[in-house]
Amino acid sequence: MTVFFALTMGALSASLPAQDSTNFPALGKVVKLDPALDAVLDESATIEVLASGFVWSEGPVWVPDAEAEGGGYVLFSDVPRNHVIKWEEGKGAEVWMEPSGFTGPGDYGAEPGSNGLALDAKGQLHFCEHGDRRISYLTKGGGKRTLVDHWQGKRFNSPNDLCFASNGDLYFTDPPYGLPGKENDPTRETDHFGVYRVGADGVAHLVTADLQRPNGIALSPDEKTLYVAQSHGPAALWMAYPVQPDGGVGEGRVLHDVTESMGKRPGAPDGLKIDDAGNLWATGPGGVHVITPEGKLLGRIDTGERTGNCCWGNDGSVLYVCSDTYLVRIQTKTRGARWADAAKQAAVEPDPLAPGHHQVQQHDPSLLRPGRYSGVGVLSNWSGPKHGGLRLQLHEDGSLTEYAVTFASSWDYQRTHAGWEAESRRGKRQIVYQGEEQGLHVFGYVDAGKEATIVTRFETEEARGARSAR
């Protein structure tokens, strides 16, 4: 699929020296500190350098695009240059947007550009903007709009990193790094460096102000824990906060502390992402730290450079990393958390069987209008998205009577659980469900032309409980 804004910024592109070879140079190494690392990362995995020459690369996001080699491309910020860079397999890197975070006249400090980037459920690109001190998003066929730029009438410092919850809530951090005078800047308006949430009301709510330098931010797969990195030298660590029903958080706990590594390895706790088992892939001193939800360090992807942030890409198993002047990647043995949700982010057209544009909400399969749907879809069954054919039959009461999905897979395995039947056949996998299931959970969009296309995830109540308990 192609996210709608991919074509809107083409006129701003400027060529950089492309690195479109398949023979990428290598950087650093994987350091195994616990045998459990073997389950998620091969110690012999290569850290490939995809592009270089940036001043400070940051905030990458994977943008799905069916026409791109590899199924999409990476956008990331070069913060000091006020650029967003696009890297695509076979084409290399190019300036995709300029300016990215400061639109005023003259210079604005050392880090004026955008930092963290993220897609919402509609496929809209969101920016943490240092110079303009706001969270913005790119509109279809037009320019940016401001999502939020103040808390209780006071301007933010320099929004740094962000993440979305499945209900659309946006969490972001606001340290002073983008201000020209940093923490001593005379234009500061808040007396804290906060973590905020923007809900459906469009208002910024202060989540916590107990950190000196909040930086990277991410949610656990079940969205019950909010992780925040602190890049403060005297207390360099990752915090874990329990998420409350209203979207706020309870008292945080120190998940992992790397204060003693500060100055011994380059960098500090910065951006992070989560895999489907709940492990943190958190940039910090020396590279990317792989940390369990309990706080145990399994190993590091040692780039040997200051490392700013990372994102999952391709089929969800490739980790792209912004490491100082480089964009690098490494193949893992896991997949990003909620990867199926990320894969479905696109603008869609109305479904003739269900007039209007309906986003199918969790726990409410009745939002799908009765009828038979078929076409090409995406299904996730514990291990990331798989593409293929799909058919679905719904009754008036919203119950499911039949669906079948066949999709290509790069690996084979067999699993039977709670009404699911899986069968491997020469690199193909078929999942068939027969019979009514009132406990079905449906996630995704419905889109239709002559035939409906469903980009979604299906799972039974029992399967969902078993997966959450792992």
Instruction: Spell out a b/e string for 199-217, using b for 16 or more CB atoms within 10 Å of the CB, else e.
Output: eeeeebbebbebbebbbbb
What does the angle CA 67 – CA 71 – CA 77 come to, to the nearest 5 degrees? 100
pTM: 0.72
Distance CA 368, CA 107 (A): 52
pLDDT over 70 percentage in the chain:
67
Instruction: For residue 49, give the nearest of 332, 335, 325, 275 by alpha carbon.
Output: 325
User: Between residues 86 and 425, which one has the greater pLDDT?
Assistant: 86
Q: What are the sequence ranges of the domains in the chain? A: 4-340, 351-469
DSSP secondary structure letter of residue 287: E
Tell me: pLDDT of 301 over 70: yes
Please report which confidence band the pLDDT of residue 192 belongs to, taking 50, 70 and 90 as the band edges: very high
The SS3 of residue 34 is coil
Q: What is the pLDDT of residues 426-448, one digit of tens each?
A: 222 333 332 333 333 333 322 22
pLDDT confidence bin for 396, thresholds 50/70/90: low
Task: Judge: domain 4-340, CATH 1.10.540.10.
Answer: no
State the SS3 of 327-391: EEEEECCCCECCHHHHHCCCCCCCECCECCCCEECCCCHHHCCCEEEEEEEEEECCCCEEEEEEE
Q: Pull the structure tokens for residue 48.
A: 């490939």
Alpha-carbon gap, residue 62 to 320, rounded angstroms: 9
pLDDT for the residue 32: 98
Of 179, 197, 199, the closest CA to residue 189 belongs to 179
- 402 DSSP 8-state letter: E
Residues 409, 314: contact at Cβ < 8 Å?
no
